[in-house]
Amino acid sequence: MEITVLGCWAPYPRAGGACSGYLVQGGGVRLMVEAGNGAFSRLMQHIDHRSLDGVIITHLHRDHYLDLFPMRHAVEGAMRDGSRKRRLPLYLPSWPMEEYYQLKEYGEAFQVFSIEDLTRKITAGGYDVQVLKLGGLTITFAPTRHIIPSYAVSFLESAQFGKSGGAGMGFGKGKDTTDSKLVFSGDTAPAEELVALAAGADLFICEASGLEKDRKALTGIHCTAGQAATMARSANVKKLLLTHFWPEYDIAELKKEAGAIFGSGVDLVVEGKTYKVREW
């Protein structure tokens, strides 16, 4: 399994950058996770949009889903000319309702599924999550702490599927006999549910929207770099990547702050870079 960073800025990008967007490839499927402004163009630098198996939106803030609007036209065009055979599955929260139903209206392009309607499960720790199985991936959604309903997402690729190479698609191959686990925080303040979801992850990609000096302004909404590192350490993850950067920061300071807590296994995401979940 691997993840490519399409965009990492919020709530607006630096010049030449893009807002939140990621391409996850593993288990025989290709998924776009977040579609912030500029992310769709970046996606097409890596794959043909017709090969996407679905899009996951963690919450309905515009810097995380705006590019669904141009994507809608691309999908509709591909459906008309026959180069895409089915609508693009779209998984997202059902609230705010106005935004949800606006996207649901684009039924010629998207097959819309609300995260809340996915299979419900109570974890061993007593947390309420939703679960989706696609190909060789088990995808788990855990609610986070944000202004509006938002989810963190765990991607678990079965070792058997990864070893076989995923239906001949050429990614996920290797000799590992253990599952591969990737966790993306979405937008969130520190949360016990997220620590539980991230437990033992090979790669944890966590928002770091500010420095400790800005903690008061972020309380209940976002994480500081230090808080992201504290959660990663509590979850005993192997690697931590920081993302969701305020464009005016010297982001090297975010890495420094997180590194003081988590150690050398922390880095900043780089737009355009692909990370192997178990090898980087």
Instruction: Give the pLDDT confidence of 211-246 residue by residue, as tens digits.
Output: 999 999 999 999 999 999 999 999 999 999 999 999
Q: Give the residue-averaged pLDDT of 257-280.
A: 94
CATH of the domain at 261: 3.60.15.10
Structure confidence by residue, pLDDT tens digits, 147-184: 999 999 999 998 777 654 443 333 334 445 689 999 99
Number of domains present in the structure of the chain: 1
pTM given for the model: 0.94
The number of residues in the chain equals 280
What mean pLDDT, rounded, does the chain reach? Answer: 94
Tell me the percentage of the chain whose pLDDT exceeds 90.
Answer: 91
pLDDT (0 to 100) of residue 160: 76
DSSP string, 159-212: HHHHHHTTTTTS-S-SS--S-EEEEE--S-B--HHHHHHHTT-SEEEEE--B-G
Q: Nearest 5°: phi and psi at 196?
A: -65, -40
Q: What is the pLDDT of residues 196-205, one digit of tens each?
A: 999 999 999 9
Q: Which domain holds residue 150?
A: 2-276
Structure tokens at 117: 């309607």
pLDDT given for residue 162 in this prediction = 60
